[in-house]
Amino acid sequence: METLKPAHNDAETDLLNQIATDIQAGAYAPGSWLKQIELQHRYKTSRPMIRVALDRLAQKQLIRHEPNRGYYVYEADDDEVRDLLDLRAMIECAAAPRIVRHGTGPECEILAQLAQNFEDLIDTGSIIKQHEANQAFHRQLLSMTGNPQIAATIAELRHRIPSAPAGQWKTRQRIKQSSIEHFEMVTAVRNRDADALEDAIRRHIMQAA
Amino acid sequence: METLKPAHNDAETDLLNQIATDIQAGAYAPGSWLKQIELQHRYKTSRPMIRVALDRLAQKQLIRHEPNRGYYVYEADDDEVRDLLDLRAMIECAAAPRIVRHGTGPECEILAQLAQNFEDLIDTGSIIKQHEANQAFHRQLLSMTGNPQIAATIAELRHRIPSAPAGQWKTRQRIKQSSIEHFEMVTAVRNRDADALEDAIRRHIMQAA
DNA sequence: TGCGCCAAAATTGGCACCAATTTATAGATG
DNA sequence: CATCTATAAATTGGTGCCAATTTTGGCGCA
């Protein structure tokens, strides 16, 4: 369930993550109106809490705010999605040399395990589970750069890209291909082959375009 | 003065930019306590406005929030600054091929003009003016990628890096070197030499380390 | 003189109320 | 019957107030 930040902080942050997760899961369609009163009842909190959470979501550009008219789920502009995917691919590819240079053996084993977890969910798991497993894989991959800011920035970007539950991984064939690419990445890291890793990452991310 | 976003939006955003600019200019030292009442008087606004602005600044990690104790200017951790500079260099270097590929002639002329503006401010201009000119140069450089998300992400990162007014460009020699590197970048873009551009960018950003 | 404790002042943070604006609804009119 | 209009309902956004917590200042005591 907890797709965003793992640790729980203050109450406002928990609420923010709940709403963000629900939006990404498709509970609120793009463009739909987020009434404060409805949210207040849905999440069993006070009105000011909701307002803080909505303001934060608007800052993150997950929703948009129209004065005196309320908050609406951000409608993904095609050009913007293309630019975000391009940027994400650019950063993750640029991180490839750091991953092969700085990654250790044990970290690589964890990565291989996460790739296997994703593989195991191809047939049995729900879309949500698959999406979480995919996210866990990429988080581990980026944590191997030794620079936590990279993973944090990518996480921020990913939130703004319409994700799997909203209909990205259409076919089972596409998911199988993703899994193959995961193992390609693991192999590239094991061989400390930055070029191969970069190539696999680029193909993996750009599949969505 | 307006170092951050150029256009003015709603009142809260204006207030946020004012406070952010003052923090970056060094009006509030790192670690200092931002009392809501003082800010309320300083910026002539209401208490809730201040609270929204402070919450946004905390989300951007320009300040930190301690429950029941208030907001404090973020104290730059050496490791974190190193990681942020590393990430910034990584992204801007990765953007180099896009700049030389996508950049047009007129855009390159604007870039050259901005490099000249910075050069002219070496002796006469204030630190603030120099910093603004430097920022304008890099904004133009990144806008030439054709992907506005890149410039936006870098702008976000730069806000979290202690900047010139806080004592980064110590010597005049260092500033002159920065200007030389600017012209190196212009030349590299003109020659559509991605490798030379990448090299100049990396040296330029890493000077601060 | 220095340290710990207690009361007073100040600050934060949440709650409830109310005005301004927008949206929905019903009625009048061509 | 559709459309425009006026009224009512609902939603947003702002202001003020008050409790909870923390910081400050002063006092007693070793």
Task: Give residue A163's pLDDT.
Answer: 76
Q: What is the mean pLDDT of residues A105-128?
A: 93
Distances (CA, A) of B160 to A6, B21, B75, B129: 23, 12, 10, 19
Q: What are the domain boundaries of chain B?
A: 11-73, 78-206
Alpha-carbon distance of B98 to B95, in angstroms, equals 5
- Residue B41 pLDDT > 80, yes or no? yes
User: Is pLDDT above 60 for A187?
Assistant: yes
pLDDT at B125: 76
In whole angstroms, C26 C1' to A32 CA is 27
Token digits for B51?
Answer: 């609270």
From the number of C-beta atoms within 10 Å of its C-beta (0-12, 13-18, 19+), residue B124 rates as exposed
Phi and psi, residue A195, nearest 5°:
-65, -45
Q: Above 50 in pLDDT, residue A105? A: yes
Cα distance from B13 to chain A (closest Cα, Å)? 10
Q: Answer yes or no: is pLDDT of A118 > 80.
A: yes
As given in the structure block, the two tokens for residue B197 are: 């551009």
Query: Among A55, A87, A98, whose Cβ lies nearest the Cβ of B150?
Result: A87
Residue B112 CB contacts under 8 Å (≥ 6 apart), including other chains: B186
**Which member of A55, A87, A147 has the closest CB to residue B83?**
A147
Query: What are B205's two structure tokens?
Result: 């950003």
Are B100 and B197 spatial neighbours (Cβ–Cβ below 8 Å)? yes
Q: According to the model, what pLDDT value does residue A166 have?
A: 55
The pair phi, psi for residue A57, each rounded to 5°, is -65, -35
Q: Per-residue pLDDT averaged across A34-40, rounded?
A: 97
CB contact (8 A) between residue A91 and residue B93: no
pLDDT band at B167 (very low <50, low <70, confident <90, very high): low
Looking at the domain covering B78-206, what would its CATH class be? Answer: mainly alpha
**Per-residue pLDDT for A148 more than 50?**
yes
Q: Which of A91, A156, A201 to mutate to test the interface with B (most CBs of B within 10 A)?
A: A91
Q: A207 pLDDT exceeds 60?
A: yes
Could you tell me the pLDDT band of residue A8, with boundaries at 50, 70 and 90?
Answer: low
Kindly state whether A79 is in contact with chain B, defined as any CB-CB distance less than 8 angstroms.
Answer: no
> Which nucleotide is closest to the Cα of A66 by its C1'?
D12
CB atoms within 10 A of CB B138: 22
- Say which residue, A55 or B164, is predicted with more confidence: A55
- CA neighbor of B74 nearest in space, from B54, B90, B58: B58
Q: Say what the pLDDT of residue B10 is.
A: 82
- The pLDDT tens digits of the residues spanning A15-24 come to 999 999 999 8
> What tokens does A105 get?
């053996």
For residues B166 and B62, is the Cβ–Cβ distance under 8 A? no
Q: Strands (DSSP E) along chain B, which ranges?
A: 33-34, 63-66, 70-73
Strands ordered across the beta sheet of B33-34: B33-34, B70-73, B63-66
pLDDT at position B164 is 55
Mean pLDDT on A27-51 = 96
Chain B interface includes A171 (CB < 8 A): no
Average pLDDT over residues A179-208: 95
Q: Do B149 and A67 touch (CB under 8 A)?
A: no
pLDDT of res. A209: 59
**Topology given in CATH for the domain delimited by B11-73:** Arc Repressor Mutant, subunit A (1.10.10)
Cβ distance B153 to A148 less than 8 Å, yes or no, reads: no
Question: What pLDDT score was predicted for residue A54?
Answer: 98
User: What residues contact residue B23 under an 8 Å CB cut-off, 6+ apart?
Assistant: B57, B62, B63, B73
Q: How many interface pairs between A and B have CB atoms less than 8 angstroms apart? A: 56
Nucleotide nearest to B66 (CA to C1'): C12
- Give me the pLDDT at residue B91, please: 98
Residue B3 predicted with pLDDT over 70? no
Q: Per 3-state DSSP, what percentage of chain B is helix, strand, and coil (rounded to 5)? A: 70, 5, 25
pLDDT in tens, B55-100: 999 999 999 999 999 999 999 999 999 999 999 999 999 999 999 9
A60-99: per-residue pLDDT in tens? 999 999 999 999 999 999 999 999 999 999 999 999 999 9
